[in-house]
Amino acid sequence: MATLATNVLGIDFENPFVLASAPPTAKIESIDKAFTLGWGGAVLKTITPDNLEMIEASERYATWKVGNKICGFENIELLSHLTLQQWLNGIKYLKQKHPTKVQIASIMAPVAKEEWQNLVRTFNNSEVDAFELNFSCPHGMPEKGIGMAIGTNAEISAMITKWVTEVARKPVFVKLSPNVTNIAEIAKAVEKAGAGGISAINTVQSLMGIDLDTFEPLPKVNGKTTFGGYSGISVKPIGLRCVAQIRQNIELPILGIGGIANWHDAAEYMTVGADVVQVCTEVMANGYGVIGAMKQGLLGYLESKGFKSPADLKNRAIGNLSTHEKLPKSTQVYPHIDDEICVKCGKCVTICDESEHSALLLVDGHITVNKKVCVGCSLCSHVCPKSAIKMQK
Ligand SMILES: Cc1cc2nc3c(=O)[nH]c(=O)nc-3n(C[C@H](O)[C@H](O)[C@H](O)COP(=O)(O)O)c2cc1C
C-alpha cells in the first residue's frame, strides 16, 4: 500500500498538495474550508508589514481561453490585505482546528534588514511551519524595488535570505521568479546564503492582449494596464523546466509550482525534483474540490508503479535530461498511420509539405510515408486532428 504522506525539512505533509500563496489562501475561513476538503497545506497569501500600502486595481484579471477552457490567467493583484495580528490569530485558529495541516507564511518586506527580520520575528512564535520568501511577484512590487526586483538579482536575493535565516526559527523556502535568464544561478545563490528549500515558479511576466477597437491593453484599468503575471496550465512547461534546472544544480527540497491542474502534472513535477507541489489557478478556475481527484489519481499511480510514497518518484526523470549534443541520434522514428482512425483529411500532408519535408502523400485514399525524405520530426503526429499517427522505430 502506498501513502501520499511525505516529509520535507522535518515538516510532515499528509499529502503533497499545497495551496499556493494567492486568493485561495487570502482568508482564514477559506483556508479552513480547503483543509477540511483535504488539501495537505497552504502557503498564506503574501504577508507584508502593516504600513506597506496595498491599493488594488479593477479589473485585475485577463484570461487566455481555448473555447470555454481557461488555459491561463494574467493577474495584476497585489498582496495580502490582512493585518499581521489578523494573520497571527488566524494561523493559531487553523492550527488548533487542523493540527496536521501545513501552514507556510509567505512574506515580503522592503529591502531593509530590520523590516525583514521584524516580519520573521513576528511569526517565529506563531504556529506556522515554515517561511516562504516572495522574491518573485512580477507586478506592482518591483516598482517599489521588491518582489521580482529582488528575485532577478542573485546578490540581493542572497543578502535578504541571509538576513532572514539569521533570525528564522523555522525552515525557509525562497520563491523564485521564472523571469530570469538563469534561474539555477539564483537558486544556487540563495542556497549558499542559507535557504532550506526553493519554491518555483511564481507567475510569468505577460501582456494578455489588446482590445483592437479601443487599443486598450488587457486587463483594462480605466483604459490602461501594466504588465502582469501569467499562470495556469499554459505555464506548466516553463515551471517544469525551471524546477528541472534547479534540481540539476542543487539538492535542496523544491516546492514545485506552475500550471498544476491534476495528479499527472504533479507527478511530472516530482520526477524532475519537486518534493511537494503547490496549486493556484486550477483552484481559482474550478474550486478547492479538485483536490479529491488529485489525491486519488496520484495514489493510484504510485501503487501502479510499486512506489511507496511521493518520495519514491522524486528525481526519476532527471537523469534523462541531457544536452542536445549528447542526445542519442543514431536511430530515427517514422510515422505509422492507423488507417481505421485516419479520416484522410490530408492535414498531415499539407503541414509536412509546408514545413520543409514533403514526406507524406495522399495516394488512393491512404496516407503514405516517403521514408527517403521523412526525418522523423513527429510534427504530423501532433497536428493530426484524430490522433491517428504514432511515431515508431
Ligand atoms: C491572482 C493571483 C495572485 C497571486 N498572489 C501571489 C502572492 O500573493 N504571493 C505569491 O508568492 N504568489 C502569488 N501568486 C502566484 C501563485 O502562487 C503561483 O506561483 C502561480 O500562480 C503559478 O501557479 P499556478 O499556475 O498553479 O497558478 C498569485 C497568483 C495569482 C493567479
Q: What is the per-residue pLDDT for 313?
A: 98
Q: What's the grid cell of residue 7?
A: 516529509
Q: Nearest C-alpha to atom 4 of ligand 1 is from which residue? A: 22
Residue of the CA atom closest to atom 15 of ligand 1: 202
Q: With a 6 A CB cut-off, is 259 part of the ligand 1 pocket?
A: yes
Return the pLDDT at 103.
98
Residue 140, pLDDT score: 92
Per-residue pLDDT tens digits for 259-274 = 999 999 999 999 999 9
- Contact of 25 with 31, CB cutoff 8 Å: yes
Confidence of residue 9 (pLDDT cuts 50, 70, 90): very high
Tell me which residue has its CA closest to atom 28 in ligand 1. Answer: 22
Q: Is 25 in the pocket of ligand 1 (CB under 6 A)?
A: no
Residue percentage of the chain with pLDDT more than 70: 100
pLDDT by residue (tens digit) across 28-63?
A: 999 999 999 999 999 999 999 999 999 999 999 999
pLDDT tens track for 89-108: 999 999 999 999 999 999 99
pLDDT digits (tens, 9 = 90+) for 153-174: 999 999 999 999 999 999 999 9
CB neighbours (10 Å) of residue 45? Answer: 25
Domains of the chain: which residue ranges? 6-320, 334-392
Ligand 1 pocket: which of 17, 18, 21 to mutate (most atoms within 8 A of CB): 21
State the average pLDDT for the chain: 97
Task: Return the pLDDT at 85.
Answer: 98
Q: How far apart are CA 188 and CA 80, in angstroms?
A: 29
Residue with cell 507564511: 105
Per-residue b or e along 339-375, where b marks 16 or more CB atoms closer than 10 Å to that residue's CB? eeebeeeebbbebbeeeebebbeeeeeebebeeeebe
Per the CB < 8 A criterion, the answer to whether 111 and 133 are in contact is no
Q: What is the CATH number of domain 334-392?
A: 3.30.70.20
Residue 202, ligand 1, Cβ within 6 A: yes
Q: Quick check: CB of 48 below 6 Å from ligand 1?
A: no
pLDDT grade, residue 248 (50/70/90)?
very high
SS3 269: helix
Grid cell, residue 99, equals: 493540527
Give the CATH H-level superfamily of domain 6-320. Aldolase class I (3.20.20.70)
CB of 260 sitting under 6 A from ligand 1? yes
Determine the pLDDT at residue 95. 98
Q: Which residues are catalytic?
A: 137
SS3 of 76-87 = CCCCCCCCHHHH
Task: Return the pLDDT at 254.
Answer: 98
pTM: 0.97
Q: Is the dihedral of CA 188, 194, 200, 206 positive or negative?
A: negative
pLDDT tens column, 307-358: 999 999 999 999 999 999 999 999 899 999 999 999 999 999 999 999 999 9
The runs of H, that is alpha helices, within the chain are: 28-37, 84-97, 113-124, 148-151, 154-167, 183-192, 236-249, 263-271, 281-286, 291-305, 310-313, 347-354, 379-383
Q: pLDDT grade, residue 82 (50/70/90)?
A: very high
Determine the pLDDT at residue 323.
97
232 touches ligand 1 (CB under 6 Å): yes
> Which atom of ligand 1 is nearest to 279's Cα?
26
Q: Which of 5, 8, 92, 87 is nearest to 40 (CA)?
A: 5
Region for 50 from its dihedrals, namely left if φ exceeds 0, alpha if ψ lies in -120 to 50, beta otherwise: alpha
Q: Which tens digit of pLDDT belongs to each residue from 13-27?
A: 999 999 999 999 999
| pLDDT score, position 318 | 98
Which of the listed residues 25, 255, 280 should we mutate to test ligand 1's pocket, taking the one with most ligand atoms within 8 A of CB? 280
Residue 367: which pLDDT band, with cuts at 50, 70 and 90? very high
- CA–CA gap between residue 380 and residue 96 (Å, rounded): 56
Q: Is the beta carbon of 280 within 6 A of some atom in ligand 1?
A: yes
Contacts of 7 (CB under 8 A, 6+ apart): 13, 311
pLDDT for res 290: 98
Q: Residue whose CA is closest, atom 12 of ligand 1?
A: 21
Indicate the pLDDT class of residue 241, thresholds 50, 70 and 90: very high
